[in-house]
Amino acid sequence: MRIIFSLALLTATFAAPAQPAPAADTAALTATLRQHWQQSGLPGFAVAVVRPEGIAYEQGFGYANKESRTPYTPATVQCVGSISKTLIGIALLQAEADGKLRLDQPVNELLPFAVQHPYFPAQPITLRQLATMTAGLTDDQRFYSKHAYAKGQSSPLSNEEYLRRTLSRGGQWYSHKRFVPHAPGSYYAYSNESAALAALAIEKATGQTFADYTRQRILQPLGLTDSGWSGAELAAAGLPPTRRATLYTPGGRPVAPYYTITYPDGGLLSSTHSLARYLQSILHPALPGAPLPPAARDSLLKPQFSAAHPPRHLDPAEPNQGLFWAYRRNGTVGHTGGDTGLSTFLFFDPQTRIGKVFVTNTEITERNASQFKVIWQLLDGVK
C-alpha cells in the first residue's frame, strides 16, 4: 500500500532482465540464497518460482519471529500489501461477466454517495479509470497514513465510511488535494483510494462484502485456506497463530499489529505458497479453480494505454497497466507491495510464462536493496 521504497530503487531492480549465473540445482540455489539472507539483514523471507504446470521452486529463509526463532517458510502468513489490488481487477471482470457492472460504467451509478472530480465535475469517473489509476485521484501519503490505519486487528471505521468522509463533498476529510487538476482518463496517478473505491463499487454491485466475494470467488476455489482479509477471519478458519509472521522495522524492532481500513487495496494476508498458486492460476487459466477463463484473463492483463495516446505522468518504470496489474519496463507483469514492516513482489514474464514471488517481513530500503536484487535475480536460474 504505502510506497515505502523509492521509485528509483524499484527502477534499478526491474529496469533490465536479470542475467545471473544459472543455479546448478535447487540445493545449490538454496545454499546460495541462505548465504544472501545472512548478508541481507532481512529477518526472514520466502521465494517461489512458478510455471503454468506448477511451482518449480519454493523456499523460506530466516525467521518469521526472531524472538522465538520461528523459521520463515513458504507457509508463513503475513500481509502482502498492494499485491492485494490484483484481486480487485479479477473481481471486476467476474462481476462484469455476471452482468452486475460494466468496466466503463460511471462509478457513481453504483456508489451510495457521489464522487465528483472537483476540477472536471461534468466528467464521470469510470471503473476502468479506477483500475488503471487514471481516475484523477491521488494519494496524500501523510493524510493516508494518519487516517487509513487502525491499531490492532480491526477498526470501527469501515472502508465505505472512510471513503465517504474522504471523497464525497461535505465529507469530514474532503479536500481538493485528493484529486489532480487533470481530467479523468488523461493523467496517471497512483492511488490507494482508487482501488478501495473500485472494491466498494463491487460490493454495491454484488451485494456482498469484498472480503466475502473474493473469498468465495477467488480464494476458496483455489484452495487458499490460509489467505484472507483479517486475522480474525484466518483464526476462525483454524490458522495457528504460529503461522503468522511478526513484522519488523528496518532497524529490527517488532511492528505493533495494525489494521488497514481500506483493506482491499493492501490488506490481504497470505503465504508465499498461496501467492504462487494464485499466480499459477493467472499463468494457466484453465487450471481447476482458476478465477477467470482464458479470454477474461487476457482482458485482465491487456495493456490499457495506447502508444499513440498514453495518459500523462506515466512512470517510465511502469509504462503500461492492465486492470490493477502493472507492466514493468522489462516486459514483466505483476505488482509490488510495501507497507510498514513488509515488502512483496509478484511478477511473471509473458514470453517465458515463468513467474516469481518474494515476500519478506520487513521493508526493502536502500540499505538492503542490493541483496534483494541478487536474490530476485538468482531465481531466474530455476528452469
Give the tens place of pLDDT for each residue, 145-176: 999 999 999 999 999 999 999 999 999 999 99
Half-sphere exposure of 247 (CA within 13 A, CB side): 23
Task: List pLDDT tens digits, range 285-305.
Answer: 999 999 999 999 999 999 999
The verdict on residue 374 lying in a domain is yes
pLDDT of residue 24: 45
Give the separation between CA 210 and CA 327, rounded to whole angstroms: 25
What residue numbers bound the domain in which 84 lies?
7-381
The band of 25, judged by pLDDT with boundaries at 50, 70 and 90, is: confident
The verdict on residue 214 lying in a domain is yes
Q: How many domains does the chain have?
A: 1
Please compute the mean of the pLDDT values over residues 262-274 and round it to a whole number.
98
- pTM comes to 0.94
Give the separation between CA 317 and CA 7, rounded to whole angstroms: 8
Contacts of 271 (CB under 8 A, 6+ apart): 46, 74, 75, 76, 77, 78, 226, 227, 243, 359
> What backbone phi and psi angles, to 5 degrees, belong to 189?
-150, 120
The verdict on residue 1 lying in a domain is no
The band of 35, judged by pLDDT with boundaries at 50, 70 and 90, is: very high
The band of 366, judged by pLDDT with boundaries at 50, 70 and 90, is: very high
Task: Check whether 13 has a pLDDT greater than 60.
Answer: no
The verdict on residue 373 lying in a domain is yes
The verdict on residue 264 lying in a domain is yes
The band of 53, judged by pLDDT with boundaries at 50, 70 and 90, is: very high
Task: Check whether 10 has a pLDDT greater than 70.
Answer: no
pLDDT of residue 15: 46
- Per-residue DSSP letters for 328-380? PTTS-EEEEEEETTEEEEEEEETTTTEEEEEEESS---TTTHHHHHHHHHHGG
The verdict on residue 325 lying in a domain is yes
Task: Check whether 214 has a pLDDT greater than 90.
Answer: yes
Q: What is the CATH number of the domain that holds 186?
A: 3.40.710.10
Give the separation between CA 380 and CA 355, rounded to whole angstroms: 9
Among candidate residues 194, 208, 209, 269, the one with its CA nearest the CA of residue 237: 269
pLDDT of residue 63: 98
Is-contact 167 159, C-beta < 8 A? Answer: no
Share of the chain above pLDDT 70, in %: 94
Task: List pLDDT tens digits, range 229-260.
Answer: 999 999 999 999 999 999 999 999 999 999 99
pLDDT of residue 20: 43
The verdict on residue 2 lying in a domain is no
